[in-house]
Structure 1
Amino acid sequence: MTTKIELKSMRFYAYHGVDPQETRVGNWFIVDLMVTVDLVQAIENDNLDSTINYAEIYEVVKSEMNVPSKLIEHAAGRILKSLRRRFPQIEHIQLKLAKQNPPFGGDVQSAAILLED
């Protein structure tokens, strides 16, 4: 049985960007995360110790989003690595990090990076 945990549309105000204004003023970012993990025991025994606490996943993401990066690629990579370190039972990660209203000088809702590992 394939089992996944999804945390969708986690919203953070952060200071990622190359332009000085981005690191000074900040911007809104959206993180979508899906992790594949064996949850068969949790399905059977209804015990939190048999799964990954969703709040703990959120705290890992939040902690990494609080560290400024020039590139969203770098921020996404740090999130992925931190999740792997904290939860070695994760089999697969799909992570999308999107910067809302990027400073392109055009009408763009978001610019995003999608990582899978």
Structure 2
Amino acid sequence: MGLIKLKNIKVYAYHGCLIEEKKIGSDYRVDLKVKADLSQSAVSDRLSETVDYVHLNHIVKEEMAIPSKLLEHAAERILVRILDEISLVDKVIVNVSKINPPIGGNVEMVTITRSKSR
């Protein structure tokens, strides 16, 4: 078993329940943790036998580009796509953070965490 982490994927997206959030957009941070069997690729040194983190990053950016009211919804789409598209992955943990959320206070970010396994 192995672990691949993508930390601090920065995206600009249009998520939220407020009309302003969907018009103006906001900065987001996504962190991924993927558990997979990396033993074969560790020996073979072949990209085709591992989890390609370029593919993971691509999925995150595409799914974050689709507006959602809730961060949970965007996170769920990321989880489902990774498990659907990358057969080596056994478990995915995703954190989606909204930077400087409009919640009437000085808050650096709000983060939701979701996970899904095969």
Output the TM-score relative to the length of structure 1: 0.96
Stretch of structure 1 that moved more, 11-20 or 83-92 = 83-92
Aligned to 1:15: 14
3-state SS of paired residue (2:67): coil
Aligned to 2:94: 95
Q: How does 1:16-95 map to 2 (within 5 A)?
A: 16-95=15-94
CA distance in 1, matches of 2:86, 2:47: 14
Output the TM-score relative to the length of structure 2: 0.96
When the two structures are aligned, how many residues end up with a matched partner? 116
Task: List 4+ stretches of structure 1 deviating above 4 A.
Answer: none
3-state SS of paired residue (2:89): coil
CA distance in 2, matches of 1:86, 1:62: 15
Structure 1 stretches lacking a partner, 5+ long: none
Aligned to 1:109: 108
Give the percent of matched residue pairs that are identical in Structure 1 and Structure 2: 38
1:105: how far off?
A: 1.0
